[in-house]
Chains A and B, each alone.
Chain A
């Protein structure tokens, strides 16, 4: 009888270890804290431009990487650890803030606009080069406050679809959230040949 119980518990242990145990301590919220970096990507060369940057391409992409803070619980969920292998995953984090506006400025006159004028209405935004939206539609597509965290907020692209006049340009990106925080980042100077 004891021998059978032993086998039973061994099987039970095997099943439990196979299925896994619930991961506890997921993060409750994700907040956009800042712009981590802006990369200028040349889709014709299929590579990012590094300083000193110059291009003759018709189109450039500004790839915006945001800094996301996950928070709430002290037992942080760390992607890539054993918790990913467990059968039960913690619930998705909710967004603690939302992006309400994105502004793009250039230090030189461009696209018929004076320097330091917001160009956002003339540009397109998206998460893929071949799927670009107007600013309003793109903001609609981003997760709102208390929506599940979405990778779309982590990296996105701003497309400079038209080749401007020859010159060296520095672009400034401003993102504003629903709490009035404004995150600012500059690109490296890019010489458009």
Chain B
């Protein structure tokens, strides 16, 4: 996986030797791929389009993820995982000789579904825990991020975009299709563990950071 990624980056970097300052508004549509997410525990890939105007742009992106080899997944005792995300964003663009700075915001919604077996979840508000034989764990997130970044032109058609952002996420975690539940009242997690977030059901808002690397192809 990493070798393929390095090859892709090398390819784009090689093309950058022919880099020229071509303003994006000459070719206003771009398709953008986010390959780095393939490196996650649960591999994801994102693809989207961006429409550029003189000093602004609008973009959207769709992500899909699954665990290709779930026996290697660290954070889940077992099971198949699926992930969908849709993002919409807007940017203010400031052009430079080799690319463009941008800042803007985006809103995203994602939903993950994970099969678990022989596990437990905690209802934080209800103060109870449930031991279960198997179930589906769902996580939905509504995200709002402010971000900035730089898009580096590589030739006429390609670009690499890096960005970082800060924002808020509303997270809802719940279980369904629970078989053989065994409820234990008056039980709370002894220690909140970030790696085991899927075990806590409820809804909460948290501050989050984001970062991205997109490979762009102008149409």
- Per-position binary interface string of chain A over residues 67-85, scored 1 when its CB falls under 8 Å from any chain B CB and 0 otherwise: 0010111100000000000
Provide the bound-state CA to CA distance between A74 and B184, in Å. Answer: 19
| Residue from B75, B129, B193, B199 in contact with A29 in the complex, judged by beta carbons closer than 8 Å | B129
Please state if B186 and A29 are interface contacts (CB–CB under 8 Å). Answer: no
CB distance from B74 to the nearest CB of A (A): 9
Cβ proximity bits B108-136 to A, threshold 8 Å, 1 near / 0 not: 00000000000110000000010100000
Q: Are A31 and B196 in contact (CB under 8 A)?
A: no
A33 interface residue per 8 A CB criterion: yes
Checking B76, B182, B190, B191 against A33 with a beta-carbon cut-off of 8 angstroms, the contacting residue is B182
Whether A29 contacts B190 by the Cβ 8 Å rule is: yes
Number of contacts between A and B (CB, 8 Å)? Answer: 42
Contacts of A29 in B (CB 8 A): 129, 184, 187, 190
Instruction: Give the interface size class of chain B.
Output: 10 to 19
Task: Identify B131's interface contact among A69, A73, A74, CB under 8 A.
Answer: A69
Known: A33-B182, A178-B185. A74 touches B129 (CB 8 A): no
Q: Quick check: A72 and B190 within 8 Å, CB to CB?
A: yes
Residues of B within 8 A of A33 (CB): 131, 182
Residues of B within 8 A of A184 (CB): none
B168-194, CB under 8 A of A: which get 1 and which 0? Answer: 000000000000001111110111010
Shortest Cβ distance from B78 into A: residue = A74
A96: chain B residues within 8 A (beta carbon):
129, 184, 187
B193 x A31 contact (CB < 8 A): no
A123 interface hit (Cβ, 8 Å): no
**Does residue B212 face the partner (Cβ distance < 8 Å to A)?**
no
**Count of A residues near B, CB < 8 Å?**
16
- Whether the pair B131, A31 counts as a contact (CB closer than 8 A) is yes
Task: Report the separation of the CA atoms of residues A71 and B199 in the bound assembly, to the nearest whole angstrom.
Answer: 11
* CB proximity to B under 8 Å, residues A2-61: 28-29, 31, 33
B77 in contact (CB, < 8 A): yes
Task: State whether A72 touches B186 (Cβ < 8 A).
Answer: no
Residue of A nearest to B186 (CB): A145
User: Which residue of B120, B182, B191, B196 contacts A181 across the interface (Cβ within 8 Å)?
Assistant: B182
A179–B75 CB distance below 8 A: no
Q: Output the least CB separation between B157 and chain A (Å).
A: 45
Residues in chain A near residue B77, CB distance under 8 A: 74
A97 in contact (CB, < 8 A): yes
- Beyond A28-B190, A31-B131, whether A97 also contacts B184 by CB under 8 A is yes
Contacts A72-B120, A74-B77 aside, 6 further interface pairs with beta carbons under 8 A come to A31-B184, A33-B182, A74-B119, A96-B129, A178-B186, A181-B182
Residue pairs across A and B with Cβ atoms less than 8 A apart, 16 shown, are A28-B191, A29-B129, A29-B184, A71-B119, A71-B120, A71-B129, A72-B120, A72-B189, A73-B193, A74-B75, A96-B129, A96-B184, A96-B187, A97-B184, A145-B187, A178-B186
